[in-house]
Structure 1
Amino acid sequence: MKHIIGYDMSQHFLLSPAAKTLSLVKVMRMSDAQAREAFRKIRWAETDGSPVCPQCGGREPYDLKTRQVYKCRACSKQFSITSGTIFASRKLAVRDILAAIAVFINGAKGYSALQLSRDLSVDYKTAFVLLHKVREAIEIARESGALSGDVEVDGAYFGGYVKPANERKDRKDRRKSINQTGKRQSVVAMRERNGRTVTHVTRSEAEGVALVKAHVAHGSTVHADEASHWDKLAAYFPIKRINHQLAYSMDGACTNQAESFFSRLRRAEIGTHHRIAGRYLHAYAAEMAWREDFRRVDNGTQYTMVVAAAAVAPQSRQWKGYWQRKAA
């Protein structure tokens, strides 16, 4: 994200030619054979697209004439181009999956399942699971390891909306826990300056103290606001505090980059999804963290990154047969 050549700082990156290297038209015009070829080369890049058996690692499979599958000479197992990946047991054509990833990438504020179901003319349930599989692949592929250097930490609450009463005399203070639904959750963000963003969903922002201790390397400088629970971090890290009632940045202390991530997540909630709370909040948070970290990478590279992540992500335990379990 720091190596885009020729980027004019006076122009927003998304408006510049450097941001647009992916053509949705080209993806949609692919034949199924071309789409399978593209996916195969990304999945088995180390063998230049030559299939590798996901069961035993055999590298001499052959095509079956009757179906679009391979058969391994070593273990005799049959496998398809998506076997062993997060798209195993797919019903959609590979071209439709690649098209879904392409439009997902181009959604600057995220991309909703309802929109995908309309764009690809598929059932909403199919679109919902497909996009969540993409988010899971992104979450799995996120670079691991401790954050270091200057790390900004903050939390924000999502969900648990309480509709205000019609008449003023009946309205209650919705900030008090007694007047809330109990569904409100906190997203704790730890953002390395000019680096990665790590997110976790907790019941309260105060639980972020233990997360910072677990995910930030010793010797790093932590930047936090004046919330009292962050006081405990002073025993483990050099810490800089910023009082937002006085300023957003002062003497090198600020949490502006963490706030930037929350702004992106809020825009996704308000402008695209309208509801991102509940059991899937962590998936949306991870997606927006990825979008924020790679916001200055062209969409063609982002597309390749996500397809590659999906091609190596294992079969999903959460999303395989999701709607069948819901029906039961």
Structure 2
Amino acid sequence: MSQHFLLSPAAKTLSLVKVMRMSDKAAKAAFAKMRWPETDGAPICPACGSTESYDLATRPVYKCKACSKQFSITSGTIFASRKLAVRDILAAIAIFVNGAKGYSALHMSRDLGVDYKTAFVLLHKVREAIEMAREQGALSGDVEVDGAYFGGYVKPANEKKDRKDRRKMVNQNGKRQVVIAVRERGGRTVTRVAKAEMEGVKVVAQTVQPGTTVHADEASHWDRLAAYFPIKRINHKEAYSLDGACTNQAESFFSRMRRAEIGTHHHIAGRYLDAYAAEMAWREDARRTANGTQFTMLVAASAAAPVSARWCGYWQRRA
């Protein structure tokens, strides 16, 4: 029996020990090389784009010779106005990468010795960077689409005679939402959060290239896809796969998402469900990528992402 990829040496190219032992200077140099690869880490002014700058003697920032603006190594990125040291941010990303089913903010706050809210915002900024980096191009080839419901748990009554069918809308609390997954075989997974699975028809129309073969289950709302795409259907009451038609890869994503909700986070608030879905889609797509490469991907994505519009007001209760 072949060895699982995660157990192989090829999967383990990142050492958390080495990251934690980095000096602040070395951590900043590593971040700079990933933020400004075109100049091999030499600073570029985020205001005017000039490569001419110098270090200020009084503060750990640069000053642009062209526009006289001062900027730090994280200015203009999603980690702008940070309080944590760059080494701690890199360590947080390294820890985050190694969580195959996600990583909770509570666990991160204990590992880094920071406040829970600090860890919560930091991890959500990384998720936002992932979401921005993954929005590229339409899906093609063979694409699977499916939906699964998350959140909105209603505790069943103690006595059997008082229990109700929680699958019915009338017995729900209105917080349950569906994550729609559109997954290209051998490619990316695109996720959207909606109130009903039927909204996935619109998602497919927006994200899938015309002429692509779409695989869906027996739900009646997917019938409308036949007007736009070649479509293959699979009835899960009869089989999980038949004549090449299946949604097993979409189901694989939902399995990872479900394990993250139940085993790692225990509860995912509806307003943040899209961020967790994007994270799990990235984890599923990069599951055969070495953790060192994943680390580089996330640091580069965070360095390229602009200042967060969603999380910059969290401490003022705006997020």
User: What amino acid maps onto 1:50 in structure 2?
Assistant: A
Match of 2:286 among 281, 286, 294: 294
Aligned residue for 2:165?
Answer: 173
Aligned residue for 2:64?
Answer: 72
Q: Report the alpha carbon displacement of residue 281 of structure 1 after superposing the two structures with TM.
A: 0.3
Q: Does 1:201 align with 2:190?
A: no
Aligned residue for 1:5?
Answer: none
Q: Report the alpha carbon displacement of residue 325 of structure 1 after superposing the two structures with TM.
A: 2.0
Q: Report the alpha carbon displacement of residue 323 of structure 1 after superposing the two structures with TM.
A: 2.4
Match of 2:249 among 242, 246, 257: 257
The answer on whether the counterparts of 1:185 and 1:277 sit within 8 Å (CA) in structure 2 is no
Aligned residue for 1:28?
Answer: 20
Aligned residue for 1:63?
Answer: 55
Q: Tell me the SS of whatever aligns to 1:109.
A: coil
Show CA shifts across 1:40-67 (max 9, x none): 1111110011000000001110000111
Aligned residue for 1:182?
Answer: 174
Q: Report the alpha carbon displacement of residue 10 of structure 1 after superposing the two structures with TM.
A: 1.2
Listed as ranges, the gaps of 5+ residues in structure 1 are 1-8
Show CA shifts across 1:243-302 (max 9, x none): 111110001100000000000100111110011240100000000000111110000000
Q: Does 1:149 align with 2:148?
A: no
Aligned residue for 1:269?
Answer: 261
Aligned residue for 2:39?
Answer: 47
Q: Report the alpha carbon displacement of residue 143 of structure 1 after superposing the two structures with TM.
A: 4.5
In 1, the alpha carbon distance for the partners of 2:226 and 2:31 equals 49
In 2, the alpha carbon distance for the partners of 1:236 and 1:141 equals 28
In 1, the alpha carbon distance for the partners of 2:54 and 2:20 equals 28
Q: Does 1:125 align with 2:125?
A: no
Aligned residue for 2:271?
Answer: 279
In 1, the alpha carbon distance for the partners of 2:138 and 2:221 equals 21
- Tell me how many residue pairs correspond in the alignment: 319
User: What amino acid maps onto 2:193 in structure 1?
Assistant: V
User: What amino acid maps onto 2:295 in structure 1?
Assistant: Y
Aligned residue for 1:82?
Answer: 74
In 2, the alpha carbon distance for the partners of 1:142 and 1:167 equals 47
Listed as ranges, the gaps of 5+ residues in structure 2 are none
Aligned residue for 1:6?
Answer: none
State the Cα RMSD in Å: 1.0
Q: Report the alpha carbon displacement of residue 145 of structure 1 after superposing the two structures with TM.
A: 1.0
User: What amino acid maps onto 1:164 in structure 2?
Assistant: P
Show CA shifts across 1:197-221 (max 9, x none): 0000001000000111111111110
In 1, the alpha carbon distance for the partners of 2:279 and 2:62 equals 33
Show CA shifts across 1:63-89 (max 9, x none): 001110000000000000000000000
Q: Which runs of 4+ in 1 moved over 6 A?
A: none
Q: Tell me the SS of whatever aligns to 2:191.
A: strand
TM-score (normalised: structure 1): 0.96
Q: Tell me the SS of whatever aligns to 2:317.
A: helix
Aligned residue for 1:313?
Answer: 305
TM-score (normalised: structure 2): 0.99
Aligned residue for 1:135?
Answer: 127
Q: Tell me the SS of whatever aligns to 2:179.
A: strand
In 2, the alpha carbon distance for the partners of 1:173 and 1:251 equals 35
Show CA shifts across 1:161-201 (max 9, x none): 00001111111111110010001100000000001100000
In 1, the alpha carbon distance for the partners of 2:103 and 2:68 equals 41
In 2, the alpha carbon distance for the partners of 1:244 and 1:186 equals 19
User: What amino acid maps onto 1:153 in structure 2?
Assistant: V
Aligned residue for 2:210?
Answer: 218
Q: How does 1:219-234 map to 2 (within 5 A)?
A: 219-234=211-226
In 2, the alpha carbon distance for the partners of 1:67 and 1:183 equals 48
Show CA shifts across 1:109-141 (max 9, x none): 100000000000000000000000000001000
